[in-house]
Structure 1
Amino acid sequence: MILRRVARPLLASIFIFGGIGALRDAQGHAKAAEPFLTDSFDKLEGVIPEGLPRDPVTLVRIDAGVKIGAGLALATGKAPRLASLLLLGSLVPTTLAAHRFWEIKDPAERQQQQIQFIKNASLGGGLLLAAADTGGKPSLGWRARRAAKKAGKAAERVGKRAEKALPN
């Protein structure tokens, strides 16, 4: 459908662009994310596996790679539902790290960050819609229920045939 061919690249474009920007200035993005990351790692001590990188620059680069890769996948229609979920998973911590408007005292800056926070929440809504979009095909849940129903009917038929074949 033409709508998906237009909407997916439009939705993906901000993630691809943002990922490229984060790679170009990983240090700057890491500096902005560091308070959030430190706070998160402190709160989740013992829950986060030891092997997970904790260096903000590394995490920014990983996040940028996810944004670029999943953004390109969404834009080209390759595994768009998975790509949307990956982008959503990347968007949440990015938003919480970069747009903490509730901590800002200056009214103008606070309002600007609040707008960016709401914009990202809106993008999250678009990603949820994209993740749920089956492209006009039945969902996996529907297909599983249908297959189970068919299997049940087939088993019932086999059972009836077996009853008829048994001697009285």
Structure 2
Amino acid sequence: MILRRVARPLLASIFISGGINALRNAEGHAQAAAPLVDKTVAPQADALPEQVPTDPVTLVKVDAAVKIAGGALLAFGKLPRVASLLLLGSLVPTTVAGHPFWDEKDPEQRQAQLIHFLKNAGLAGGLLLAAADTEGKPSVAWRAKKAAHDAADQVQDTAGTVQRKTGKATEKATKAVESAFDSALSR
């Protein structure tokens, strides 16, 4: 559908642009991310495997790569549901770290951060819609429910057939026994 071919690249563009910007200025973004990293990742650093990055600059670069790759996948319609979920997973910490309007004392700054926060909330809504979009095909849940219903119908049909055949066989056996009994009595 033409709508998806237009909407997905439009939605993806902000993430690709943001990812490129974050790669170009990783240190600046890392300063904004540092308070969130200090609250969330740093306390768990000892428990994490050695390969998992814990410094803000590396985490910003990883986040930027996710934004660029996820945005490109979404824009080109390749794995759009997975790409949308990746972008959503990237958007949440970016929003919390980058737009903490609740910490702002200056009313103008607070309002500006609130606007950016709400913009990202709107983007999250778009990503949720993109993640749920089955492109007109039935969802996995619907297909599973239908398969279960079809299987139940098949079992019921088979049970009915078996019951009818058993009834006919019982009827034939009863007639045969009655006939044998009648012929034994008539001798």
Q: TM-score, normalised by structure 1?
A: 0.90
Aligned AA (2:38): T
Unaligned runs of 5+ in 2: 171-187
Alpha-carbon distance change, 83 to 49 in structure 1, aligned in 2, over 3 angstroms: farther
Matched, 1:50 2:52: no
Partner Cα separation in structure 2 for residue 114 and residue 158 of structure 1: 62
In the alignment, what sits opposite 2:128? Answer: 128
Post-superposition shift, 1:33?
0.3
SS of 2:41's equivalent in the other structure is helix
In the alignment, what sits opposite 1:23? Answer: 23
Partner Cα separation in structure 1 for residue 86 and residue 105 of structure 2: 33
In the alignment, what sits opposite 1:93? Answer: 93
CA-based RMSD of the aligned residues comes to 1.9
Partner Cα separation in structure 1 for residue 145 and residue 154 of structure 2: 14
Aligned residue pairs total 166
Aligned AA (2:21): G
Aligned AA (1:146): K
Partner Cα separation in structure 2 for residue 54 and residue 162 of structure 1: 65
Partner Cα separation in structure 2 for residue 53 and residue 162 of structure 1: 63
Greater relative contact order (Cα < 8 A, sep 6+): 1
In the alignment, what sits opposite 1:10? Answer: 10
In the alignment, what sits opposite 2:141? Answer: 141
In the alignment, what sits opposite 1:106? Answer: 106
Partner Cα separation in structure 2 for residue 87 and residue 118 of structure 1: 16
SS of 1:135's equivalent in the other structure is coil
In the alignment, what sits opposite 1:118? Answer: 118
Post-superposition shift, 1:73?
0.8
For the pair shown, which has the larger CA radius of gyration, 1 or 2? Answer: 2
SS of 2:105's equivalent in the other structure is coil
SS of 1:134's equivalent in the other structure is coil
Post-superposition shift, 1:53?
2.1
Post-superposition shift, 1:140?
1.1
Post-superposition shift, 1:118?
0.8
In the alignment, what sits opposite 1:65? Answer: 65
Post-superposition shift, 1:14?
0.2
Partner Cα separation in structure 1 for residue 149 and residue 75 of structure 2: 36
SS of 1:145's equivalent in the other structure is helix
Partner Cα separation in structure 2 for residue 164 and residue 45 of structure 1: 66
Aligned AA (1:145): K
Partner Cα separation in structure 2 for residue 62 and residue 156 of structure 1: 54
